């Protein structure tokens, strides 16, 4: 029972990864205590010369293996990380070692699938709603709202969009990696620059649900609240406007357009190494089977 | 085999399995983290997008496969780009007979803006109009200008953040000829 409990606890860690509790000392104490209790009981069984001690030892080896991978991914494992990349960006990550390649697609028209290229030379696709196990890690794709922007001067000539404060300097896609509390709500925020026009634009993203709540009537489209400043961070007169997704507005001496869509972020969490966990389960099952056979023989 | 031997065998096997488990979990060869910026792209295949050219044709980087490409990302509002473009023209004039091509990719601006700037500086190498900033996104630009050297096989050889002098351009290109 104790061996089974160890296996179940670590299996849950593999099936539902990314929970902060796995990195806590209470989780580590639980699995270590289960093991300690198991091996203490085994010692007593061996001392009594119990023939069931050997099969329980085999099951115990399985539990111990699970504990090792559980603790490696838990207390000793790195915290869960979320990686956001602009379309076309390649983001190097340390654990697991490799690069995340974000697809260079228009997030408003195609389903983007991120690829992980490991330093061992493997490439793994991470499609939406699928988990991918990579050694002692698991990664999955989580949709996140982004805004694909266009910007023009008042003569309708396109101008360059830059993001000096974000990782992808020349991307016209805002990733909203940060949020701020505004009016009692946590809302995604971001900013971009239009160097040719000496403008800095601060942006707050409102989902359709949040907008509906604020306006007290249903709103189908998400929107951006844009606030345009000059390069000295001075707010320009009449330079705050709501920009619904799919539209363009003239604000602060520039014309800004935005389409809001979902684009994947990749969540990477430490997880028990699957082959070793499965080996542990195999040991446990072999021990359990042996135990059951000996018990049925002794009864008959 | 006595009971003690079996217990010993199980203990040794357990220790070996635990050691293997720990090694498998923690052993990571090398590192995938290769830094940031255009220099981090060294060795990667050069991505290509079809975009309009200043001379009204549609074109892409792939159209220049088989030649040594100096890909320069720029914009008209960028003072170092203004300083660098005449040197790129010099490089193009001096080495185009040796299978070198310079492509200047204007980032996010209209044909009118980019054209006026190119005419003022009298540059006549191919100029791509990357209105959606696709090249800018994938070539890991940290700022403008950004220059990437691509070999005839379509792989990135070097990446530079910031303006280059003519001597730096030559030093990057000549060893590859």
* Residues β-bridged to residue A147: A174, A260
- Using alpha carbons, select from A16, A67, A77 the residue that is nearest to residue A280: A67
Measured from the Cβ of residue A100, the count of other Cβ atoms closer than 10 Å reads 23
Cβ pair A104:B138 closer than 8 A: yes
- Pair B88, B15 in one domain: no
Nearest to A273 among B18, B21, B113 (CB): B21
* Separation CA A168–CA A87 (nearest Å): 9
- Pair B3, B58 in one domain: no
* Separation CA B117–CA B102 (nearest Å): 17
Nearest to B138 among A88, A159, A167 (CB): A88
* pTM of full prediction above 0.90: no
Cβ pair A119:B75 closer than 8 A: no
Residue of A42 and B2 predicted with greater confidence: A42
**Residues of the domain holding B11:** 1-29
Cβ pair A89:B113 closer than 8 A: no
Nearest to B32 among A73, A92, A195 (CB): A92
Of the listed ranges A106-120, A203-217, B103-117, the least confidently predicted one is A106-120
Averaged pLDDT for residues A136-156: 93
pLDDT at A219 over 90: no
The pLDDT value recorded for residue A274 is 87
Q: Which residues of B touch A167 (CB under 8 A)?
A: 36
- Pair B101, B15 in one domain: no
A99, A121, A170, best to mutate vs chain B, most B CBs in 10 Å: A170
Nearest to A157 among B36, B112, B140 (CB): B112
Residue of A110 and B170 predicted with greater confidence: B170
The pLDDT value recorded for residue B29 is 45
- Pair B118, B67 in one domain: yes
The pLDDT value recorded for residue A73 is 85
Averaged pLDDT for residues A259-278: 91
How many domains, in total, are found in chain B? 2
- Pair B121, B97 in one domain: yes
Q: How confident is the model at residue A128 (pLDDT cuts 50, 70, 90)?
A: confident
Q: What is the CATH number of the domain that holds B56?
A: 3.40.30.10
* ipTM of this predicted structure: 0.80
Q: Which residues of A touch B75 (CB under 8 A)?
A: 160, 195-196
Smallest CA–CA distance, residue A169 to chain B, in Å, is 5
- Pair B54, B110 in one domain: yes
The pLDDT value recorded for residue B118 is 92
* Separation CA B123–CA A157 (nearest Å): 21
For residue B57, give both structure tokens: 């044709």
- Pair B13, B86 in one domain: no
Q: pLDDT tens track of chain B, all 177 residues?
A: 555 566 556 666 666 666 665 555 555 444 444 567 888 889 889 999 999 999 888 999 999 999 999 999 999 999 999 999 999 999 999 999 999 999 999 999 999 999 999 999 999 999 999 998 989 988 988 899 999 999 999 999 999 999 999 999 999 999 998
């Amino acid at each position: 029972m104790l061996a089974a409990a160890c296996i179940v606890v670590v299996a849950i860690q593999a099936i539902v990864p990314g929970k902060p509790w796995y990195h806590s000392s209470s989780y580590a104490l639980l699995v270590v205590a289960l093991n300690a209790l198991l091996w203490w009981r085994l010692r007593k069984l061996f001392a009594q010369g119990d023939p069931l001690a050997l099969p329980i030892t085999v099951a115990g080896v399985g539990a111990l293996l699970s504990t090792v991978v559980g603790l490696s991914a838990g207390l000793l494992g790195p915290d869960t990380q979320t990686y956001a990349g602009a379309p076309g960006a390649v983001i190097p990550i340390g654990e697991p070692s490799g690069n995340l390649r974000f697809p260079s697609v228009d997030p408003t028209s195609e389903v983007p699938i991120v690829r992980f290229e490991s330093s061992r030379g493997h490439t793994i696709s991470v499609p939406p709603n699928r988990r991918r196990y990579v050694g002692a890690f698991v990664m999955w794709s989580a949709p996140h709202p982004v805004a694909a922007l266009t910007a023009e001067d008042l003569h309708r000539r396109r101008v360059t969009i830059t993001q000096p404060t974000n990782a992808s300097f020349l991307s016209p896609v805002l990733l909203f990696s940060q949020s701020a509390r505004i009016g009692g709500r946590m809302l995604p925020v971001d900013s971009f620059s239009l160097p040719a026009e000496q403008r800095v634009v601060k942006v707050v993203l409102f989902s359709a649900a949040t907008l509906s709540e604020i306006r007290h009537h249903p709103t189908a489209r998400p929107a951006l609240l844009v606030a345009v400043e000059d390069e000295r961070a001075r707010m320009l007169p009449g330079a705050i406007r709501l920009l619904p997704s799919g539209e363009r507005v003239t604000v602060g001496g520039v014309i800004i357009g935005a389409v809001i869509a979902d684009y994947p972020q990749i969540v990477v969490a430490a997880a028990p190494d699957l082959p070793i966990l499965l080996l542990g389960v195999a040991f446990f099952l072999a021990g359990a089977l042996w135990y059951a056979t000996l018990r049925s023989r002794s009864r008959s | 085999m006595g009971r003690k031997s079996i217990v010993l065998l199980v203990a040794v096997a357990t220790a070996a399995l635990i050691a293997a488990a720990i090694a498998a979990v923690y052993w990571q060869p090398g590192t995938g983290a290769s830094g940031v910026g255009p220099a981090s792209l060294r060795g990667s295949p050069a991505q290509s997008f079809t975009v309009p050219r200043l001379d009204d044709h549609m074109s892409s980087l792939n159209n220049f496969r088989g030649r040594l490409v100096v890909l320069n990302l720029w914009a008209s509002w960028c003072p170092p780009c203004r300083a660098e473009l005449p040197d790129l023209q010099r490089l193009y004039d001096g080495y185009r007979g040796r299978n070198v091509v310079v492509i200047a990719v204007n980032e996010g601006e209209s044909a009118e803006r980019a054209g006026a700037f190119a005419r003022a500086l009298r540059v006549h190498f191919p100029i791509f109009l990357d209105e959606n900033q696709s090249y800018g996104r994938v070539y890991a630009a940290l700022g403008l200008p950004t220059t990437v050297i691509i070999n005839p096989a379509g792989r990135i050889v070097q990446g530079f953040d910031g303006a280059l002098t003519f001597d730096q351009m030559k030093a990057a290109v000549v060893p590859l000829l």
